[in-house]
Chains A and B, each alone.
Chain A
């Protein structure tokens, strides 16, 4: 017995596995070298790719070649493949985490602010913010932050994306192994997922957290409760007849009824416990995010309808949970928004307009990036469709994967989701899409992949990785925040600290400090978020770019004077400038000129300045504008 174990261990790590470990080590060394020489400040509007050192290309190239060579061996070693995946995630997703001292993306800072609100006020206020109608993520964040003795969740927020991406490997692999009769397709699917997941929702956010739970629910449903298909669902029985439509329907029905892999063996007690865990995860999803539970519901319901999952009660239970949450816990939000939510149903044109067309603006490089994202997304979807077709031509089908890829589209005609729904649909559909994409190169139960297929998969991965870097980090110039910006924000909070009644959760509007921001893209709202009043030029003005370009401070000051407040500050930062230049095409010196005009007008006094931020106190308005 012991001898057998020793043999197994030797087999598990044959000599060429040691070579692969060496390849990964060299790739990681190259990556570390790239990190050391990466200068984010030199970035142009093409984003991170414009400053990535050649070592990064070498690292990712080595990982890609090594992974597919290891995968296409007659006997591959799962541990080696996992090592490559971890290294890929570190290189593609960890780079921006490690080179930045602070969390990326402005929304992250606001989320940290909502957590700070709970820690300070020991409650949530659904009237204050829509997020507090689904406070699960923020409450859990507050618990972890407070228990760890941290003052803010900023350090959690910095590391969360990388941790979440690494953790995502697990449920993705479980899910794909459950979809596949060839484990190679599953491993390749996970790889392709990480080189195509350009919609960056893995930051410290309810949706990033919920997506991980969503994947685990799907993995439970398909790994331990798989319905193997093989028979037509009642509602899919094709009509009799000899017409072309009838024959197409029969072919589709036959495709949908093709048997799939079975569930792994388990005891009834294990299945009962796993179903209980799935219900617990669904309950956490329902209370943490507005959109994810609907996608999970649609995905599980689709799998059940196609007889690919035997958890028939889960969609029913989840519907009840969602309904109960909306009716009781999120009633504050629903009362104020139900009409506007219903009005958006069926307006696909406005959804497309807000999700795609309205984003095609800004600097020339940014417009290129935006168009590229559309092309990249369509290309990934087409490759996945080609994978499904290749399988169908072989007489096989991936019905469950297709269901996972298509289920998220159900929300497309229902909501614009603030102009982001198309992005979110791709984000949620990507696991199914990535698996089908892998099927293009690893189509069957023939366990030997041909050299042609391996080379093609490798080449596709290289091209997709370049596309991923362009699409994912195209906004990086505005997404990162410097230490100088953070210092300025801390200085601002210190400046107004004496005047704030920190224990008072709801001060009158006239007693609040007004913060004048040219753009919202500022790392400001990580604490005392609700104690300030905000005037954001980009949102408040009809022609904001003209106001900023012409340094039209009179218009802004008149508006500010009409806004009740106690005292007012203007904060101008590097990241605001990047945001306005990138997304709105503001001239590079315009924001500096606007800030300088404000200072020279005598309406404001500079109270703090460093390399990346300026804070002006609008003293001329102080007191005079109190209403």
Chain B
């Protein structure tokens, strides 16, 4: 939970920095790579974090896929809408990233607001539903049978 908040805070910072880099026209080299990576990952990650998933592999895969899909959607809207500009597209994507990362922080300040993953969460009040199989036919490794040593719930 705290980690998610930290990542959301980092997303806000990275989005703002990326916007500044795009405005400065980074060109060839590492700066260009960072901008591309940020535009692909950040919008999707900001959205996926709202789901409250705890499996890092799921979060990363969904974040990148969602980010790519948003890139496709925004780019096509600009092309078909006759508004083509790569920088405008980057601004829209970073706007999505900022809105989704800032949203929970704003919501937290407003009493009564809750995230998508809350409501049926773990007893410790974390609000994240545990990622265990609903099916009873899977034996947990803690019973002494072989299996993944750790991260069992996330990797099974």
Contact = CB atoms under 8 A, between A and B. Distances in A.
A574 B72 CA distance: 36
Contact of A264 (B69, B89, B134): B134
A144 interface: yes
Contacts of A159: 33
B69 A213 contact: yes
B117 A140 contact: no
A75 B89 contact: no
A552 B51 CA distance: 67
B79 A213 contact: no
Interface string A250-288: 000000000101111111111011100100110110011
Contact of B65 (A11, A119, A171, A287): A171
Contacts of A612: none
A177 B138 CA distance: 12
A174 B53 CA distance: 13
Contact of B61 (A14, A167, A228): A167
B97 to A, nearest CB: 13
Given A119-B86, A143-B75, A147-B22, A269 B116 contact: yes
A8 B79 CA distance: 51
B129 A267 contact: yes
A401 to B, nearest CB: 16
A183 B72 contact: no
Contacts of B82: 122-123
B107 interface: no
Contacts of A445: 137, 139
Chain A: interface residue count, which band?
35 or more
A216 B72 contact: no
A287 B148 contact: no
B58 interface: yes
A448 interface: yes
Interface residues of B, number: 71
A454 interface: no
B74 interface: yes
Interface in B121-156: 121, 129-135, 137-139, 141, 145-151, 155-156
A259 B137 contact: yes
Contacts of B75: 136, 139-140, 142-143
A177 B148 CA distance: 12
A277 B73 CA distance: 13
A395 to B, nearest CB: 13
B35 A147 contact: yes
A448 B69 CA distance: 41
A170 interface: yes
Given A123-B82, A155-B28, 5 more contacts: A9-B150, A78-B150, A155-B33, A261-B137, A284-B73
Interface of A: 8-9, 11-12, 14, 74-79, 118-119, 122-124, 135-137, 139-140, 142-150, 155-156, 159, 167, 170-171, 173-174, 177, 181, 183, 209, 212-213, 216, 219-220, 223, 228, 259, 261-270, 272-274, 277, 280-281, 283-284, 287-288, 445, 447-448
28 contacts: A11-B150, A75-B148, A122-B85, A123-B79, A123-B84, A135-B79, A136-B75, A139-B72, A140-B68, A140-B71, A143-B71, A143-B74, A147-B22, A177-B155, A181-B137, A183-B147, A213-B68, A259-B135, A263-B135, A264-B133, A265-B129, A265-B132, A277-B65, A280-B69, A281-B65, A284-B72, A284-B73, A288-B72
